[in-house]
Amino acid sequence: MSVNIPSTFLEKIETQFPHRKDAFLRSFSESKNTSIRWNTSKIGSIDNAHSSVPWYKGASILKTRPIFTLDPLFHAGCYYVQEASSMLLQSFLDKYLNISSNPIVLDLCAAPGGKSTLIANHLAGNGTLISNEVIRNRAYILKENIERWGAKNVIVTNADPKHLAKAKVAVDCIVVDAPCSGEGLFRKDENAINEWSEDHVRHCSARQKRILHDAWALLKPGGILIYSTCTYNNHENISNLDYVMSEYEGIRLSIPIEKEWEIETIEHNKSIGYQVFPNEYGGEGFFIGGIQKPGISETNVVKEVNKNIDFEFVKPTQDDCFISFMEDLYLVNPSTYQFYTQYAKRLRLVHLGVNVGKQKKTIHLPSHGLAMSLWIQKEIPEIELNYHDSIMYLQKKVFTIPSNQKGWHMITYKSKGLGLIKHLGNRWNNYLPDKYKIKMEVPKDYKYSSLIS
């Protein structure tokens, strides 16, 4: 790959990381790996035929990049395509976020959803994740990815950090994957190179400080802030951690780093952070660090609620409850129900838990979100399709369905839910939402290879 990297940027790399410059330049001519992170709630353990990401057990580095749009498992929410570098977030969660305390976690700049789905896996149904995106159209992309993931303890919001503070939202953990100059994306995005300048770096750094200032106000005493960017320079990285440490007298958080990972540990003043470079594990440029707010962190007391509704297509656990929102019913855990009742009127909500469907008097209409979850009634017949017919279903084309039984059915591929159809006697109705419809055609020479056996 021939790229025109700004000389000023290279000088800064050489100044900050003199021993890394040659390897960094070589990386532009090396192949770029693709990594995916598995949805362990749907897949469970993986017999990994691919290379693995050393700092994240439930991820794979693919030998070749498939066409994800043409993989039914992607549409079933079985995995998320994510840079290996970004998965270093898990090391902070493992060490500092106790899920038994039912933590309230805020992913502040969440779209398109990589870190939110990672956090959702870590929470394993405990506590509540507020997955927030400031830009409205990106918030709906975020919603789609969260819905595919099928977690009942995730709320998607569309709010500026100042609005969250005005609503008096208080959380135990904030993840700030801040908008940045994108230096870590130079290998795969030529626009990032064209847009780079020292002025842009300074502008990003100032904006990041404002975001961190607003984020700190949302954090409970004893809570943790995890800050990351996809860039290299100190202005946007360690200097911003220094700003928080000095401004608010925070407590720095460290994580264990193995030597073979080739991740740089950066210490400056009272701060510590971790810099990932393009490497054999498929990661691009990424920086991450953490700070704890002084004070005592307390376990969140989740009050007992009794909000179960008899919705024929759902089999909730004893503790689960329903929320009626925007003409739909949503299945949530008690922690999320409690958060909703406290803050719903103060926030712009985009999505809640699992959208199970509509209840119109005695008529129940199941939703696509229910098919993406693990709480659909097992009594609903499943129709297992082969690859060809699965793509036909996802394209909303007519194909032969191997059943004459009337009523609702769930379409599956490799036993994973793709969506719902209904047999009306003289025809089948495909209830896959149009926004999830595959618009591309399968190339004639395309050979699909499933990522799971």
In a domain, 39, yes or no: no
- 420, HSE (Cβ side, Cα atoms, 13 Å): 21
Instruction: Compute the distance between CA of residue 62 and CA of residue 118 in angstroms, rounded to an integer.
Output: 18
CA-nearest of 126, 117, 12 to 74 is: 117
Q: Are 368 and 433 in contact (CB under 8 A)?
A: yes
Provide the sign of the torsion angle of the four alpha carbons 105, 110, 113, 115, taken in this order. negative
Range of the domain at 251: 86-379
Residue 247 burial (CB count, 10 A):
12
Query: How much is the pLDDT for 308?
Result: 65
- Residue 400: pLDDT above 80? yes
Contacts of 62 (CB under 8 A, 6+ apart): 33, 34, 35, 36, 50, 451
- Residue 49: pLDDT above 70? no
Determine the residue type at 420: L
Tokens of 284: 């691009």
Give CA 434 to chain center in angstroms. Answer: 22
Q: Residue 399: left if φ>0, alpha if ψ -120 to 50, beta else—which one?
A: beta
Query: How much is the pLDDT for 306?
Result: 63
Q: What percent of the chain has pLDDT over 70?
A: 97
Please report, for the domain that includes residue 267, its CATH number: 3.40.50.150
How would DSSP label each residue in 17-37? -TTTHHHHHHGGGSPPPEEEE
Query: How much is the pLDDT for 329?
Result: 92
In a domain, 253, yes or no: yes
Number of domains in the chain: 1
CA dist 407 to 360, 361, 366, 373, Å? 17, 19, 12, 20
Phi, psi of 314 (to 5 degrees): -120, 140
Reduced to 3 states (helix: H, G, I; strand: E, B; else coil), residue 251 is strand
Per-residue pLDDT tens digits for 274-312: 999 987 676 799 999 999 999 998 888 888 776 667 788
How would DSSP label each residue in 167-216? TT--EEEEEEE-----GGGTTT-HHHHHH--HHHHHHHHHHHHHHHHHHH
In a domain, 427, yes or no: no
CA dist 20 to 7, 25, 198, 278, 433, Å? 16, 9, 21, 10, 48
**Residue matched to tokens 């599956």:** 412
Instruction: Compute the distance between CA of residue 253 and CA of residue 320 in angstroms, rounded to an integer.
Output: 34
Contacts of 14 (CB under 8 A, 6+ apart): 21
CA-nearest of 247, 238, 189 to 216 is: 247
Q: What is the pTM of this model?
A: 0.95
Per-residue pLDDT tens digits for 96-147: 999 999 999 999 999 999 999 999 999 999 999 999 999 999 999 999 999 9
Checking DSSP bridges between strand 382-384 and strand 407-413, what pairing results, if any? Answer: parallel
Mean per-residue pLDDT over the chain, rounded: 92
Tokens of 68: 């994800």
In a domain, 309, yes or no: yes
Instruction: Compute the distance between CA of residue 409 and CA of residue 432 in angstroms, rounded to an integer.
Output: 12
In a domain, 114, yes or no: yes
In a domain, 188, yes or no: yes
In a domain, 301, yes or no: yes
In a domain, 347, yes or no: yes
Query: How much is the pLDDT for 1?
Result: 47
H/E element holding 384? strand 382-384
